[in-house]
Structure 1
Amino acid sequence: MHLFYQPDVQTVPYLTDDESRHAVKTLRLGVGDTIAVTDGHGNRFSAVITKADARQCAFRITGQQSTPPRPFSIRLCVAPTKNLDRIEWFVEKAVEVGIERISFFFGQHSERRVLKLERLEKIAVAAMKQSLQSWLPQIDEAVSFDNLLKTIGEGERFIAHLPERSADTDEPPAHLLRAATSGGEYAVLIGPEGDFSERELQAATTAGFRMVTLGANRLRTETAALVACQILTILNT
């Protein structure tokens, strides 16, 4: 059954413009065909098309199924990359793997200083539908690093960073897989291409973030973010 997204499904009995075109023009669905519609908040509705209009495809709800939130939650806080394609790739894959919230921030070493969310939100919707999920992650506008820290309170807080070892006796930070506990509410900071500044590392530590690694290899920003998402998902599987 084809899955569509309509955030106001219980009060608006037709698909959005984009979804209507996809249903009628691309999938060639017609009156009487059955579809599934999610509101992105855990609810999925069975429906029957009553008007196959590419501008406004109407439907009638025939059933409802609710999916509870996961017993853990992942919030990744990422500095957007200079190449926007790479951050788009991350959003798509993170949604497919499963994530509750994506927050963007501009750090001291960030090369990109402008980020528009409209396309990223469309990518997230498409990834949610492709992976047959009923929860659409929250995507936050990009803010400064300092302002981001103010929005993160409870839960397990981590900052992914692999510092240079100054002596043979220096112990590297713990791996995220060993530092996190299952069933948690996680927030993970992933730095820009130029990494976090020393001031930002200190500010995060002061705010209660624990430094962790994602392995011995140096990872690109979008790769590190996806790896963190997958690690926490595996921990809770």
Structure 2
Amino acid sequence: MHIFYTPDIDPEASAYTLSEEESKHCIRVMRLKVGDTVVLVDGKGGSFRAEIIDAHPKRTSLSICSFNEQRRRSSYRIHVAVAPTKNIERYEWFLEKATEIGVDEITPIICEHSERKDVKSDRLVRVLIAAMKQSKQSFLPKLNDTRKIGDFLKTETDAKCFIAHCDAGEKAYLNEQVKPGEDVTILIGPEGDFSTEEIGMALSLGCQPISLGVTRLRTETAGVIACLETAIINR
């Protein structure tokens, strides 16, 4: 069944009109018509079954048939703070796959070795929405504003924190450290890795050093592996 993103829908609503963008996709692209049934998701756990009553390409009207609410995406939360890649398409790939696997929150972090210092949030949010719809989920991952790693580390204390880095030193594998049902924050550095100073700062503030495997991974691959291992532990 086709899914449409409706962040402003009221759980008590009996009818709803799709945005112009979603209406165009519904009628022009998907070629749906009056009487067809669709699913609307609000990105916060709400899922609505609805029927098209006016197939207008700019303002499609629907009648709400039923509503279902999911309180939590899962028994755990994962927040990945990952440096934007020089090639933004690689970062978008990470966002897509992380959403499909199950990520709750993402923060782009700027590090000493970062080659990209900013991102276009609007574009990244569109990637997240498309991935949420494609994977038939009703929760949209939260995308935070870009932050310098130092500022992030000083304020991010709500969950158990791990830092994946390539420097020498004793590091446990992530799957040996994460427990089922545990909320975690995982830091992934840029192509040039975290600097020695950044690693030291993270460790001094309570982050635990971890390894994601014996091979050297690209930034976006490391982010996906972190999400996947955490999901498997919580399966």
Note whether the superposition's TM-score is higher than 0.5.
Answer: yes
Identity %, equivalent residues: 40
Counterparts of 1:59-208 in structure 2, within 5 Å, are: 59-69=62-72, 70-164=74-168, 172-208=170-206
Q: Please give the per-residue CA displacement for 1:62-94, whole angstroms capped at 9, x wherever unaligned.
A: 101112311101100000000001001000110
Pick aligned residue for 2:226 from 221, 224, 228: 228
Distance 1:213 1:15 in 2: 45
- Normalising by structure 1, what TM-score? 0.94
1:210 is aligned to: 208
Aligned residue identity for 1:98:
G
Pick aligned residue for 1:26 from 11, 29, 36: 29
5+ residue gaps, structure 1? 166-171
2:166–2:193 CA contact under 8 A, matched in 1: no
1:5–1:39 CA contact under 8 A, matched in 2: yes
2:40 maps to 1:43: no
Aligned residue identity for 2:230:
L
| Number of aligned residues | 231
2:164–2:186 CA contact under 8 A, matched in 1: yes
Pick aligned residue for 1:54 from 51, 54, 57: 57
2:50–2:63 CA contact under 8 A, matched in 1: yes
2:6 maps to 1:6: yes
1:162–1:173 CA contact under 8 A, matched in 2: no
1:114 Cα deviation after fit: 1.6
**What is the root-mean-square deviation of aligned Cα atoms in Å?**
1.2
5+ residue gaps, structure 2? none
Aligned residue identity for 2:178:
A
Q: Please give the per-residue CA displacement for 1:159-194, whole angstroms capped at 9, x wherever unaligned.
A: 0013235xxxxxx30000001111111100000011
Distance 1:48 1:151 in 2: 45
Secondary structure of the 1:150 match is helix
Aligned residue identity for 1:216:
V
1:162–1:212 CA contact under 8 A, matched in 2: no
Q: Please give the per-residue CA displacement for 1:193-218, whole angstroms capped at 9, x wherever unaligned.
A: 11101111111111110000001100
- Normalising by structure 2, what TM-score? 0.95
Aligned residue identity for 2:47:
R
Between stretches 51-60 and 122-131, larger displacement belongs to 51-60
Displaced runs of 4 or more, over 2 A: 162-165
2:13 maps to 1:15: no
1:17 Cα deviation after fit: 1.9
Secondary structure of the 2:31 match is coil
1:57 Cα deviation after fit: 1.0
